Structure 1
Amino acid sequence: MNRTDRLYALVEELRAVAPRPRSARWLAGRFEVSVRTVERDISALQQSGTPIYAEAGRTGGYCLDKARTLPPVNLTPGEAVAMALALRQLEGTPFRATAHTALRKLVAAMQQDDAAAARDLAARVHLFGEDAPPSMPRELADALVARRVLRIGYGDREGAVTQREIEPLGYVGKPEHWYLVAWCRLREEIRVFRTDRITSVSVTAEVPPPRSLRREDLDIPYGVVEQLSLTG
């Protein structure tokens, strides 16, 4: 079990028995780690805002304040990423830090598979600047979550339209435009499509093969690109 999974499991173990305590020794045996590792993990959870406290005495141990935590919630990966994007509007306000703390708590309360999928989806969203880009058509906004090949019409700077089949890989957002990063079957390489130049879009039933997206694949010659984060 890796550390991220163990931290999640520690919280759920303490939630299951709350308000009764679990000793560090019991937890160490349960997760097959040392007592020192459990103590470090509990300290990390406490520093992140998880309401865990220690009860002294022979029958004491660590307790979770169940009233102040969330059980696993049914946020979808797309919803979690949407919240991360929305919270960027709080940059520069007094609530920036608390907003990111709230997001971390929600992600920690998600089902493990959904949280992992949300982190993967967020890693495919890259942004310029602080301002939110404009909206985009629903079929494009759902492209990464749906994981389907798209057929699009795409206009170049002169207005000439070509028909393409593309495999969506990620997004780049600028204050003026959204860009869809995709494998273009016409050009047989990764291309960046400005979404306001996409004249038509249809979703096929075909699931594309898995492809990685590296920062150098974004083909952006200037500016600082920031990857969206679910941890602040």
Structure 2
Amino acid sequence: MNRTDRLYAIVEALRAVAPRPLSARRLAERFEVSTRTIERDLSSLQQTGVPIWAEPGRTGGYCLDTAHTLPPLGLTVEEALAVTIGLGMLASSPFRAEASAALGKVLAVMDGSRAEETRALAARVHLLQGDPPAPAPDGFSDALRAGTVLRIRYRDRAGVETEREVEPQGYVGRDGTWYLIAWCRTHSAIRAFRGDRIVAAEPTGERPPRRELTAADLDIPYGDLRPVLGP
């Protein structure tokens, strides 16, 4: 059993006995790994937001908070496969950590047999891609949610670095490359900043005035913009 499958199985094992606890030793015996490995797995699950806590004492162990977990998702195998592929396509994007955590949560709350069938089908889907771009800095993926002006250090195609303040407006993805669309205060205009050329991004805490952004503002010479939540 690989680690991804084991993480899913651990959640299901805890869900099956909740709210009673399971010890790390019992889980280690069940999955034929060391107690230390189980404790690392549980820590990883907690960091992705799975509501697991430890109960101290001789009869204690690890519990899953059923009051804060979703019931099994009623996705068909085909729907679950589409979600799995969609999130998997973000594995080389600035949103890779969030996509991986989201995929783990989706599989954790799916019906067991459907989840296993989805995994089997997803293992037969592959993506052909070139070298992944350099990772975007911390702050790229949550730039919009933060809602504040960013101070970025940006390297242009010639390798020259500049520092500027920008007001994040949105994202555009093309052929595996992601761009932060922002109002650049240096040029007083909308600009697109390649995620792999943003050397550093620091929120300033300043909340800029709201600006209305349209596709025409981007002046993209090729292709058509398609919203992620479009029809």
TM range (shorter): 0.3 to 0.5
Compute the TM-score of the two structures, normalised by the length of structure 1: 0.44
Higher relative contact order (CA 8 A, sep 6+): 1
TM-score (norm 2): 0.44
